[in-house]
Chain A
Amino acid sequence: MLILSCPNCGELKDETELSAGGEAHLTRFGPGSSDSDFEGYLFNRENPKGVHFERWRCSSGCGKWFHAARCTATNEVFGTYSAQVTEPPQEIRDVVSAKRPGWTWRDLS
């Protein structure tokens, strides 16, 4: 069972108490954007085997959204962080770099 710690209420939550919200830090393209930007935002995903940044909701807890950094190949959790950011904070990236040297995700590393 995957267990994540909600950074909003500080509780450790089982995956059955959470809702998965999919890939994080998408740039939102709306009306007026190019077809490929809109397609990319709506459909295309990194879907990596390895380091992944994703959105979760503490749905049977405080009800708030947050972010998690997790390895999709092993389910190792690198950390959770606030929903109010557009890319993973430096301390999360440092944890990932220590455990997965040379990782990349989109244009981040």
Chain B
Amino acid sequence: MKRYSAFAVAREAFRFHSGWERAWRSPEPKSEYDAIIVGAGGHGLATAYYLGKNHGIKNVAVIEKGWLGGGNTGRNTTIIRSNYLQDPSAAIYEKARSLYEDLSQDLNYNIMFSPRGVIMLAQTEHEIRGYQRTAHANALQGVATEFISPQRVKELCPIISLEGPRYPVLGGLWQPRGGTARHDAVAWGYARACSDMGMDIIQKCEVTGVMSENGKVSGVRTTKGEIKCSKLGMVVAGHSGVLAEMAGFRLPIESVPLQALVSEPIKPCMDVVVMANTVHGYMSQSDKGEMVIGGGTDAYNGYTQRGSFHHIEETVRALIETFPMISRLKMLRQWGGIVDVTGDRSPILSKTPLEGCFINCGWGTGGFKAIPGSGWGMAELMAKGHSPLTEDFGLNRFREGRFIDESVAAGVAH
């Protein structure tokens, strides 16, 4: 692989950009791999990357039914933060956030990580107490956050209206080192690095069945034929229930559409991310100038990648009260992704009832921020059979009543 650098840009400028090579190969599948990852979203690709980089397992295929990064990884609003309440969450999300800080250098691919800071608004008495509690928990966990006054919120985000008629701003939980990154670039950067290690990323190839012998996984059936493996990682977000059924087990997960929308580009007006959980909306400004807006999930199961229109209406209505200046903006696009939601709003990184088959899912509305940490932990779990990052996120926690309850901290979709 030719490295990207300022020198490479200069060199290509002198030869009409004719020397750039493809970022990754598009091979046909081999008949057998040491490990197969199903799903080339951020989590699947990061798992493959750290399998190779940290554990030396490089005979790996990542199988994707559509195009890489075309699932939720390419559909999210890119908020990165790690201000969760419970210790196991803080560990994996903070690991991810810290890996994001130098991921561009590690991958030699600009993922445009922008630690611009994230404010979560407190708009009720209950939220004030909740976020003060989270700030204390974060202090103990070593995650830098702070509960700030309404005046400080206004300094950080001048376009906000503190005196909203329904829900005035009473304070906020501020994580200065949170922010955003370019979502496609995260998938592309990992894909390029995986391909460079000799891994095969096989796109337009759907897994249609899971093969097993004597209770142990032996491979997958795909639209490009059968492919054997001794270790299988299912990392398919909204389609986790479909894959689990192929492998013969059920999951504590329901899949629902989650929507987002962006406005026409405008001049820079907001250099932080603001989340308003009570009124259910959040907003940031992309480098192109579009206001990126996320809303709520549908109330019923669905795989339509579209979502119900009234949720968009509710989100926009709430955000206009919070940011009156956006009331005249035109919206350019709206879309949906299928998110995999668990009862305690925490992910599942786990062995499964089928030996050799592992699952990484349940990131629901907020897994973009976790991609590097999740891949790191999942790779260790697949390589060694256990990982300190993932041990609390096992499937058995539901049976044993050891929930990692983030439904308060993650009350809104993000």
Where the two chains meet, the residues of A that have a C-beta atom closer than 8 Å to any C-beta of B are: 1-2, 15-16, 19-20, 22-23, 35-36, 39-40, 42-49, 52, 54, 72-75
Contacts and interface: CB of A to CB of B under 8 A. Distances in A.
B301 interface: yes
Contacts of A47: 241, 251, 253-255, 301
Contacts of B304: 72-75
Interface in B297-316: 299-304, 308-310
Contact of A72 (B299, B302, B308): B302
A54 B302 CA distance: 12
Contact of B399 (A1, A36, A48, A54): A36
A45 B254 contact: yes
B252 A43 contact: yes
A72 B303 contact: yes
Across the A-B interface, the 7 shortest Cβ-Cβ residue pairs: A47-B241, A43-B252, A20-B300, A44-B250, A20-B299, A39-B399, A43-B398
B242 interface: yes
B398 A42 contact: yes
B130 interface: no
A55 B255 CA distance: 16
Contacts of B116: none
A45 B254 CA distance: 7
Contacts of B245: 48
B255 A35 contact: no
B252 A44 contact: yes
Interface in B139-171: none
Given A39-B398, A72-B301, A74-B304, A16 B310 contact: yes
B239 interface: yes
B336 to A, nearest CB: 12
Nearest to B310: A16
Given A43-B252, A48-B245, 10 more contacts: A2-B300, A15-B299, A15-B300, A43-B398, A48-B241, A49-B239, A52-B301, A72-B255, A72-B302, A72-B303
A73 B301 CA distance: 9
Contacts, number: 65
Given A43-B252, A45-B250, A47-B241, A35 B399 contact: yes
Contacts of A75: 302, 304
Nearest to B344: A43
B63 to A, nearest CB: 18
B241 A45 contact: yes
Nearest to A45: B254
B70 interface: no
B209 interface: no
Contacts of A19: 299
B265 interface: no
A52 B254 CA distance: 12
B343 interface: yes
B343 A15 contact: no
Contacts of B301: 23, 47, 52, 54, 72
A72 B239 CA distance: 12
Interface string B370-413: 00000000000000000000000000001100000000000000
26 contacts: A1-B309, A15-B299, A15-B300, A20-B300, A22-B254, A23-B301, A35-B399, A36-B399, A42-B398, A43-B343, A43-B398, A45-B250, A45-B252, A45-B253, A46-B241, A46-B250, A48-B241, A48-B242, A49-B241, A49-B242, A49-B303, A52-B301, A72-B303, A72-B304, A73-B303, A75-B302
B298 to A, nearest CB: 8
B253 A54 contact: no
A2 B308 contact: yes
